Amino acid sequence: MSRTPVIVGNWKMHNTVGDALQLVRALKVKFLGVSGVEIGVCPTFVLLPAVIDALKESNIGVGGQNMYFENKGAFTGEVSPVQLKDLGCKYVILGHSERRQFFGETDELVSKKAKVAHSHGLIPIVCVGEKLDQRESGLTEEIVGKQVDGSLDGLTKEEMSKTIVAYEPVWAIGTGKVATTEQAQAVHAFIRELLRKKFDAAVAAEVRIQYGGSVKPDNAKGLLSQNDIDGALVGGASLKADDFSAIVKAAI
């Protein structure tokens, strides 16, 4: 089965409204008529209305970088799935390693959020990945396996098919130290096999697994040409229109 590659920019805590508009206006022009690849950007919450408005009638989807699992209520500082959907979001990144590391997110919380995201028609991009010491101790499969199992628990087969998994080795994020194509492919194949066991073969064949961690124009093609790498979750390089565009085009 052929999976449409999906390239998403995770802007993290970057850009003002002015920067964001400049960036998306440039992207809109660069991606005019581009097909065969799904494209998305995930700005911070405060940028969402401006970005969504600027990308109306474009081929670029927009997503949040996180959300809470309740629809509304007394949860100061949180943003709900209803609010993301209402603005016109398509995706929501969940369980990014920075959320796990700095904000204490657990697999259990991520799975709860993923379930709720689906119930609102948002596509969760669920992130997993091992730290450097874990890789060096030979624990990559154990750690990633536990995260995949726990973070995707409770999803139906149908929900899982639509979910995007992002494999982001923590040691490759923002470090310029990209995983080799072989290292990345091996973990992606491992994740797909886990999905086959946890759900079924049809689901495993359908789920798109993105790689994330220092994806740049010069390494994108090698990564994206691997059998089980179906896209990229791009941090730093997604803040530059030329770089992001080159990565998107490497997926076609």
Kindly list the catalytic residues: 96, 168
Distance CA 151, CA 77 (A): 23
Beta bridge partners of 234: 9
Which lies closer to ligand 13P via its Cβ, residue 27 or residue 237? 237
Compute the least distance from the CB of residue 126 to ligand 13P, in Å.
Answer: 12
Per CB under 6 A, 235 contacts ligand 13P = yes
Per CB under 6 A, 170 contacts ligand 13P = no
Interactions with ligand 13P, residue window 92-111 (CB under 6 A): 96
Per CB under 6 A, 212 contacts ligand 13P = yes
Which lies closer to ligand 13P via its Cβ, residue 154 or residue 174? 174
For the chain, report the end-to-end CA distance as a whole number of angstroms.
16
Among 86, 121, 154, 174, the residue binding ligand 13P under the rule CB under 6 A is 174
Which lies closer to ligand 13P via its Cβ, residue 38 or residue 168? 168
Per CB under 6 A, 173 contacts ligand 13P = yes
Interactions with ligand 13P, residue window 4-33 (CB under 6 A): 10
Which lies closer to ligand 13P via its Cβ, residue 124 or residue 236? 236
Give, in degrees to the nearest 5, the angle at Cα 226 between 157 and 177.
105
Among 43, 81, 169, 213, the residue binding ligand 13P under the rule CB under 6 A is 213
Which lies closer to ligand 13P via its Cβ, residue 152 or residue 179? 179
Compute the least distance from the CB of residue 133 to ligand 13P, in Å.
Answer: 18
Both structure tokens of 140: 């990559």
Per CB under 6 A, 165 contacts ligand 13P = no
Per CB under 6 A, 126 contacts ligand 13P = no
Per CB under 6 A, 243 contacts ligand 13P = no
Q: How many angstroms separate the Cα of 167 from the Cα of each of 17, 153, 231, 235?
A: 29, 17, 10, 13
**Residue in the structure block whose two tokens are 């941090």:** 235
Distance CA 92, CA 72 (A): 17
Using CB under 6 A as the binding criterion, the count of chain residues that bind ligand 13P stands at 14
**3-state DSSP helix/strand/coil percent for the chain, to nearest 5?**
50, 15, 35
Give the chain's length: 252
Both structure tokens of 112: 């709860």
Reduce the DSSP state of residue 93 to 3 states and report it.
Answer: strand
E runs forming strands in 4-71: 6-10, 38-42, 60-64
User: Which residues contact ligand 13P by CB under 6 A?
Assistant: 10, 96, 168, 173-174, 212-215, 233-237
